[in-house]
Every structure is written in C-alpha cells, then in structure tokens.
Amino acid sequence: MSHALADSATMLRRNLRHLLRYPSVTIMLAGFPILFLLLFVYVFGGTLGAGLGGSGGRADYIEYVVPGILLMSIASAAQGTAISVATDMTEGIIARFRTMNIARVSVLTGHVVGSMVQTMVGIVLVLGVGLLIGFRPSANAVEWLGVLGFIALVTLAIVWLAVALGLVSKTVEGASNLPMPLMFLPFLSSGFVPTDSMPAGLRAFAEHQPFTPIIETIRGLLTHAPVTKGWLAVGWCAVIALGGYLWSRKLFNRDR
C-alpha cells in the first residue's frame, strides 16, 4: 500500500507539473463555462428570469443558472482529462512505465487526482466570476462544506469516466471528441430552464438523466433550499465513478 501511495504521489507531481507548464489549458477549460455564464445572464437572463416566478429578471436567473454552469465546468474538464490520458497512451510513455517497478494503479491515480485539482481550480474561477456579476448564495457554513464535498464527488465520477474514454480512444483526436456529449447534457437538464417548461418527451429525458438531480442538489445547497434528490444524485455519482473505474482498469490492464 505504501509503495502504491508513493508511486501515486510521484505520478500526481508529474501531472501537476504538466498543468503548471501549460496553464492555458486550465484557463481555457474555465473560460468556456464563464463565457456561457456571461451569455446566459446578460443576453438571455432578462427573458428567462421572467419565467422563474418571483421578481424575475437577471437577478433571479443568475441564482438559478450558476449551479448548471458549475456542472458544465466539471463536464468540460472531462475533455482535457481524456486528451491527457490518450496522449500518454499513444506516445509510448505507458510502455516505459510498465517496464519499471511501479504500481500500475499509480498511473491512473495521478491522472485522476491531477484532473480533480485542475477542475476544482476551474470551479473556483467560475464561482468567482459568478460572485462578481451578482450571484449571492445564501448557504451557511455547513451547506458550503456540503457543496464542496458534493462537487468533489461529482468531479471524481466524471474524471474516472473521462479516463476510460481516453483509454478507449485510439487517437488523441478521438479522445477530444468522445467527452463532447457530457458537455451538452447540462443543456438537456434543469441547469438552464425548469424541466416543466420543456416538451413532454424532452422533459421526461431531462428529469431522468443524472445531471438534473446533481444540479438540483448543488442549487439546493447553495440557495438554502430543501434538497429533495440528494440521495439520487449521490447514487448517480457512485454508479458513474464505479463504472468509470472498472472500465478504466480493464482497458489499462489489457494487452496492447
């Protein structure tokens, strides 16, 4: 166990050095959700906010849309993770690692933890922009801890799935395309508009896909509202994380 932890720490340092060497990647991953946040708040916020009830307008809509943007930030980071894994797999470094006396699990662990650090940095940047433009969460200290812990759980699940997508890809280009559906699923959820405003078929899909309970849990914790689908959201995260881990392990251990 100590051998695996030491090797995992080494691989984590390797991935963190890559992030420090190429900070533009982290900025780009955070920039995409920030652009969508500004677009939806300042272009569509007045109209969409009027349909939420209450006083309507941008002030109400920014409170509604930020949780969906935060999830988009996590989903966007999946693309960078898949590309990083596919790059290692196609450039021959993994073959060298396999000839060395290192724990196999450490290679994937380094990618997962490094990607989680990168994603959390992006989350902080997006949340900071949200606060600058008027987002005012009413969460107390306990709820903020819940938000941070739950976001970390969601990130872990998405990152493991992204690792599997990077491993299954034959090329780096393919790895950049496979996570794209994850980036668009927040649009087909309650992230940007309430599901009851959607047509019947789309509403059924939106209400039963995993991102909707995840977004509503984040929204409930941030706005001090009742969290009615928290266990469902945690269950989806556990299923995605376990499935991504088992799939990744199987792909990484197979002969290439």
pLDDT in tens, 12-49: 787 778 777 767 767 777 788 999 999 999 988 888 88
Residue where the block lists tokens 């930030």 = 73
Instruction: Write down the domain spans for the chain.
Output: 2-253
Question: Is 57's pLDDT higher than 50?
Answer: yes
> Does pLDDT of 2 surpass 70?
no
Quick one: tokens of 140? Answer: 């107390």
Write down the pTM of the prediction.
0.88
pLDDT for position 98:
67
The beta strands (E) that lie in the chain are given as none
Amino acid code (one letter) for 88:
D
∠ CA 17-19-25, nearest 5°, is 160
Report how far residue 105's alpha carbon sits from residue 188's, in angstroms, rounded to the nearest whole number: 35
- Separation of CA 42 from chain center: 24
CB atoms near residue 141 (< 10 Å): 7
* Half-sphere exposure of residue 14: CA atoms within 13 angstroms, side-chain side: 18
The Cα 160–Cα 230 span in angstroms is 21
229: Cβ–Cβ under 8 A, 6 or more apart, which residues?
Answer: 212, 213, 216, 217
Q: How far is CA 120 from CA 66, 77, 100, in A?
A: 15, 10, 31
What mean pLDDT do residues 146-155 have?
A: 95
Residue 189: the pLDDT is: 92
Predicted confidence band of residue 111 (pLDDT cuts 50, 70, 90):
confident
The pair phi, psi for residue 229, each rounded to 5°, is: -120, 30
More confident position, 99 or 124 = 124
Cβ neighbours of residue 125 closer than 8 Å, sequence gap 6 or more: 30, 34
pLDDT score of 92 more than 50: yes
Cα–Cα distance, 141 to 22 (Å, whole number)? 34
User: Residue 126 pLDDT > 50, yes or no?
Assistant: yes
At 155 the pLDDT is 95
Highest mean pLDDT among 85-89, 103-107, 164-168: 164-168
pLDDT of residue 39: 92
d(CA 99, CA 49): 58
